[in-house]
Structure 1
Amino acid sequence: MSTLNLDDAQAHLREIVAGLQPGEEVVLTDNGQPLAKIVKTLRTSWPCKAGSAAGKILYMAPDFNAPLDEFKEYME
């Protein structure tokens, strides 16, 4: 874990983050006191793609859209 002065980091933040490996940390300091920590995360994509479940519903109850008995008085 390395440390950088806040003023130095502010001028070169993009380059600093780009140079980090996933999980690597940099501590930002101000007047020698720790102020913040930057940790690079591994960029992952969402595990599902839009529309990937299309056509996969194998069963749906015939009364799926029927009103619930508990709410009959509210539906009238």
Structure 2
Amino acid sequence: MNTVTIHEAKTHLSRLIKEALRGEDVIIAKGKTPLVRLTALPEARQERRLDGCKGLIVSVTDDFDAPLTDFTDYMP
């Protein structure tokens, strides 16, 4: 864990961001009082595609919901 003052944080912000991205804790303090923890955000989730199956289903016949004749022996 790396603790720095506000002045040091202003001066070395790029370095502190790199440390946070590596998973290290960076604490910014005013004097000896810790104020802020600098942490990396979790990776953004990839946006979901709604057309993932587009083009895979060509057509559905009109009798799609009709009972299958092969299973009449098993039907009540």
Where on the TM-score scale, by shorter chain, does this alignment land: which range?
Answer: 0.5 to 0.7
Q: Which residue is 1:27 aligned to?
A: 27
Residue of structure 2 equivalent to 1:8: 8
Segments of 5+ residues of structure 2 without an aligned counterpart are 58-76
Would the aligned equivalents of 1:25 and 1:40 in 2 still touch at CA under 8 Å?
no
CA change 1:6–1:54 in 2 (3 A) is same
SS at match of 1:29: strand
Task: Give the length in aligned residue pairs.
Answer: 57
Q: Give the superposed CA RMSD.
A: 3.0
Indicate the residue corresponding to 1:63 in structure 2. Answer: none
Q: For structure 1, which runs of at least 5 residues remain unmatched after alignment?
A: 59-76
Letter in 2 for 1:7: H
How far is the alpha carbon of 1:31 from its aligned partner?
1.6
TM-score in terms of structure 1 length: 0.53
Q: Distance in 2 between matches of 1:51 and 1:34?
A: 45
Identical-pair percentage: 16
Which residue does the alignment assign to 1:55? Answer: 54
TM-score by length of 2: 0.53
Q: Which has the larger radius of gyration?
A: 2
Shift of 1:36: 0.6
